[in-house]
Amino acid sequence: MENLAKAFLKLRKEDFSLLGAIESGMRDHEWVPLAEISQLSGLSARKAEYRLRLLFEQKLVSRETLHYEGYQIDFDAYDLLALSDFVKGDRVSSFGERIGVGKESVVYAAEGEIPLAIKFHRQGRTCFKHVRRLRSHLTDLPRVPWLYAAALAARHEFQVMQRLYPTVSIPRPVAISRHALAMEFVAGHQLNKITLSNPQDSLEIILEEVGKAWSLGIVHADLSEFNIIITEAGPRIIDWPQATECTHPHAQELLERDLSNVLRFFDRKYRLKMPQETALERAKEAATS
């Protein structure tokens, strides 16, 4: 959605009740029947039908009328429900620009007690729909796995960040709702987008941070120049949904892959060469100190 804040401000309290009702109903139905939406939202069927028509025009709900009148929500409405939660809980006071779009998330700037980045996870949509199409005869598949896949990814990322912060240099995790994670906004530049005056120092600090995460039982598993932000106070590592326990059978391999991604970047951009074994030693030193 282009303008989440605008869409948010247009909605009334009863619209959020309707979207929330559809969200709940989707646990049991692919298309939630109007009668159930009315019951779950506490709105009369007439009122519900009228407001749902407006939500449909705003493309916040989809409708299916083949067998009965049923409704579904997609990520746009799920985003708005999460945002509404943050606003109600006084986590977010204003909502700003889109600052990042990845294959598996959309990130917005916002304000709360501190400047925030809100990451809306997007996992599960394409791949699960695909799976369901292929296996539509199976009844034991969850009906709306995208909703759960995205929420699970967000929860995992949040829990990992809570374990790492503040020992490891990452954004402070602030709040979570559904598939949305509110965290401290990190002012700086992605490592791949700037030219460092002292690349050796930055590389050493990054290895140290990787080591500290390892000492807390975590390997990032998606580390690269795209997931490191350089601030005035040094590098900060973001994007933790893939994080894996050090006890995982592939943890060592993932750690080595993380390190080699970083080493490859410093070699390519700065002609700075460090053997993989040295990097591994540095990280493990930081882990035990």
**Enzyme catalytic residues:** 222
- The interface region with ligand ATP, picked from 12-20, 158-166, 233-241, 275-283 by CB under 6 A, is 233-241
- The interface region with ligand ATP, picked from 142-150, 221-229, 245-253, 257-265 by CB under 6 A, is 221-229
Q: Which does 100 bind (CB under 5 to 8 A by kind): ligand ATP, Mg ion, none?
A: ligand ATP
- Whether 178 contacts 151, CB under 8 Å: yes
**Residue 112 is a binding residue for ligand ATP (CB under 6 A):** no
Q: State the distance between the two ends of the chain, measured CA to CA, in whole angstroms.
A: 46
Q: Which does 89 bind (CB under 5 to 8 A by kind): Mg ion, ligand ATP, none?
A: none
In whole angstroms, give the CA distance from residue 259 to residue 114.
32
Q: Which does 104 bind (CB under 5 to 8 A by kind): ligand ATP, Mg ion, none?
A: ligand ATP
- The interface region with Mg ion, picked from 75-83, 175-183, 219-227, 277-285 by CB under 5 A, is 219-227
- Return the structure tokens found at 218: 């975590």
- The interface region with ligand ATP, picked from 82-90, 95-103, 138-146, 207-215 by CB under 6 A, is 95-103
**Residue 72 is a binding residue for Mg ion (CB under 5 A):** no
Residues in the chain: 289
CB of 121 to Mg ion, least distance (A): 12
Give the phi and the psi of residue 79 in degrees, each rounded to 5: -60, -45
**Residue 173 is a binding residue for ligand ATP (CB under 6 A):** no
Nearer to ligand ATP, 42 or 115 (CB): 115
For the stretch 242-245, contacts whose Cβ atoms lie closer than 8 Å and that sit 24 or more positions apart, written own/partner, are 243/156, 243/157, 243/160, 243/218, 243/219, 244/218, 244/219, 245/217, 245/218, 245/219
Does the N-terminal peptide bond of residue 166 adopt cis geometry, omega within 30 degrees of 0?
yes
**DSSP 8-state assignment for residue 65:** -
Task: Give the H/E segment covering residue 184.
Answer: strand 180-184
Q: For tokens 């590098």, name the residue.
A: 235
**Residue 171 is a binding residue for ligand ATP (CB under 6 A):** yes
Beta strand 234-237 pairing with 228-231:
antiparallel
Which of 19, 117, 221, 255 is the binder for ligand ATP (CB under 6 A)?
A: 117
**Residue 239 is a binding residue for ligand ATP (CB under 6 A):** yes
Residues that bind Mg ion (CB under 5 A): 227, 239
Residues that bind ligand ATP (CB under 6 A): 99-100, 102-105, 107, 117, 119, 171, 183-186, 190, 222, 226-227, 238-239, 241
